[in-house]
Amino acid sequence: MKHLLALSLFGLILQPVYAQNMKTAMNDPENLMINTSVTPDQADRNNNFYDNEVTYILPSVPLEIAGEVENPGMVDFSKLKKRPVIVKETLLKEDGSNAFTGAYRYDGYSLFDILNDRILKKNNKTVFPPIIDTYVEIENAKGEKVVLSWGEIYYPNYLHNIIIATDVMRIVPSKSKDLWPLPSESKLVIAGDLITERNISSPVKITVKSYPRSFLINREMKPLVSAEVIVHNHSNVVEKLTALPGNIQMETLHTIFYGKGRGIHSTQPFTGAYLKELLKQQFPFDKDYLKQGKVIIVGKDGYRVVFTFSEIMNRNDQQEILLVPCQEGEDGGKFRIFPSCDYFSDRAVKAVADIFVEND
């Protein structure tokens, strides 16, 4: 009886608080509906910082999967599990600086799950079977487009960090009580981005693509060595690299180097320069590159991988991509790529010969 009485009193205490939140929510200019199946923890009964406020439902639109898959078509969200991500959204300003727009918990459906049963049917499979040159283009009805690499979705150390958000909750500071502006539509949310320009609203289509450019493949090359790395802006050569700049900072990243096919390779660290430090000298950090930029890294033997510009230049998790110098004449040299963001080693290109940066 005492236990039931205590619960009843606790409910009476919470009721006005929740009612006030309901009133506040209904008065929001966005006029969003509250998700009443998610009860906010206003009394801090647990240690979760990300469930204290009202959760709002974001109006959603149908989503189509197209492109290089065996089974294109509309997404059935009823078969998928909702997953949460937490983000601090920040956008670029016209002068190149940035502006914080709010902190949120989003709930929705991960691209990992959305694309999980869409079997790849690569256009270039007969000449290059690996999946690491695949990417997706996501667009909305307004004509906005962003790209994500297949590696960002299926290779990261932490899965399900890219979602189509259908619900949102403000993460409100306990002292300032800032009520960040709410989005008014469902949106693509990429939790790993520092500047969140790729978080476009109401995506309607995901198109799966493989990189179309052809490269001569010679997997029997021995020793596998490239004398230089040629950096291209689309098809124009902007730099030829035979050694790292003397003033660039070297970084050492520790790893358990594990391949999807051959398993464990090594447990030794990699030392090199952040690839972003080299690319930022030649390419602007702007909205177009953040949204649609792709970086294609090609080995001397024709092995190639696709990263996105944002994946290399715009991380908030410090899981950087290294350009690693090798010993003179070492197999796989002069330079190789180490992507510390990946669980698998498959995008670790040896004998890097070309880097193509494109934003179309």
The 10s digit of each residue's pLDDT in 148-186 is 999 999 999 999 999 999 999 999 998 999 999 999 999
Looking at residue 54, its amino acid is V
Q: Which residues neighbour 186 within 8 Å (Cβ) at sequence distance 6 or greater?
A: 58, 59, 60, 61, 108, 164, 165, 166, 201, 202, 203
Which amino acid is residue 221, in one-letter code? M
Q: Is the peptide bond before 334 cis (omega within 30 degrees of 0)?
A: yes
List the pLDDT tens digit at each of the 360 positions of the chain.
444 444 444 444 344 444 444 444 444 545 799 998 998 988 788 899 998 999 999 999 999 999 999 999 999 999 999 999 999 999 999 888 999 999 999 999 999 999 999 999 999 999 999 999 999 999 999 999 999 999 999 999 999 999 999 999 999 998 999 999 999 999 999 999 999 999 999 999 999 999 999 999 998 888 999 999 999 999 999 999 999 998 999 999 999 988 888 889 989 999 999 999 999 999 999 999 999 999 999 999 999 999 999 999 999 999 999 999 999 888 899 999 999 999 999 999 999 999 999 998
CATH class for the domain made up of 229-358: alpha beta
Query: In the numeric block, which tokens belong to residue 202?
Result: 């109401």
Q: How far apart are CA 93 and CA 349, in angstroms?
A: 35
Residue 100 is encoded by which pair of tokens?
Answer: 């914080």
Strand ranges in 111-250 using DSSP code E only, listed in sequence order: 134-140, 145-149, 162-170, 187-190, 203-210, 229-233, 236-241
What whole-number distance in Å separates Cα of residue 316 and Cα of residue 132?
23
Q: How far, in Å, are 134, 208, 358 from residue 122 at the CA level? A: 8, 9, 20
